[in-house]
Chain A
């Protein structure tokens, strides 16, 4: 599925409209520990997390993730969001908990 397809689903909204939403989501990772994500992440993943600070964007950029999905209404501050936009990384807001977001992704065929 693409980022564009994901944000067309209920419960998902794109927080930074200038991001590249044509990117393909080929796998996912759900974790709030940054160096764990550093160790296990791979290119084109969707990253589901509750973390919202600047380093989240840094990790996503280093891994070439296709998007960051913030669960349970977590939001980034404007400067962090601006950084994500500069880097072309889509930030997606959701009211759902991480567990349910992963279920939706998996059910939509996002798996290796």
Chain B
């Protein structure tokens, strides 16, 4: 059955913790490698996971990432508790960034994270509500 998950993992992502940011994506990569997902797919999922994780760390008040896998798909969700994105189609544009100066100094803020995710995933859905939060779901076809 398509909704019978072989894997279901959850990772907390803390706001502004640049040192820990990347740990969830590293765990996701390790998990996928361990179960034998092919390396090209692992690479795409890892890139998307990293960008989603860093966005939660840099732009949000904190959130979580969820990794799900059934026979056909690997699903990656990134959910946070706000502040939400006022104009999602603007945020999706390559080069658009509101990253603060502190983050830009570290090399974040190219405005390429969301476009990177979209490019890597077979299906990419983002919904965001100001004051509530942002939810991203990415589906990666296994077969």
Determine whether B79 belongs to the interface, using a CB cutoff of 8 Å to chain A.
no
Q: Which of B3-11, B22-30, B62-70, B135-143 forms contacts with chain A? A: B22-30
A56 CA to B113 CA, complexed, in Å: 15
**How many residues of chain A get a CB closer than 8 Å to chain B's CBs?**
20
Residues of B13-31 at the interface with A, using a CB-CB cut-off of 8 Å, are 18-19, 21-23, 25-26, 29
Give the number of chain B interface residues (Cβ < 8 Å): 25
Cα A41 to Cα B39 with chains together (Å): 15
Q: Cβ of A33 < 8 Å from any Cβ of B? A: yes
A59 to B116, CA, bound (A): 14
Residue of B nearest to A61 (CB): B26
Task: State whether the Cβ of B56 lies closer than 8 Å to any Cβ in chain A.
Answer: no
Of residues 47 to 80 in B, which have CB atoms within 8 Å of A's CB atoms? 47, 50-51, 54
Are A58 and B25 neighbours in the complex by a CB distance under 8 Å? yes
Q: Are B54 and A55 in contact (CB under 8 A)?
A: yes
Contacting residues of chain A (41-61) with chain B, CB-CB under 8 angstroms: 43, 49, 51, 53-59, 61
Q: Which residues of B contact A36 (CB under 8 A)?
A: 110, 112
Is A104 an interface residue, CB under 8 A from the partner? no
A36 to chain B, nearest CB (A): 5
A35 on the B face (CB < 8 A): yes
B134 at the interface (CB under 8 A from A): no
A54 pairs with B19, CB closer than 8 A:
yes
What is the interface of chain B, defined by CB distance below 8 A to chain A? 18-19, 21-23, 25-26, 29, 43, 46-47, 50-51, 54, 106-113, 115-116, 119
Binding site for B on A (CB under 8 A): 32-36, 38-39, 43, 49, 51, 53-59, 61-63
Query: What are 10 A-B pairs with beta-carbon distances under 8 A?
Result: A34-B110, A35-B51, A35-B108, A38-B116, A39-B119, A53-B106, A54-B21, A55-B18, A58-B21, A59-B50
- 3 closest Cβ contacts across the A-B interface? A58-B22, A35-B112, A33-B110
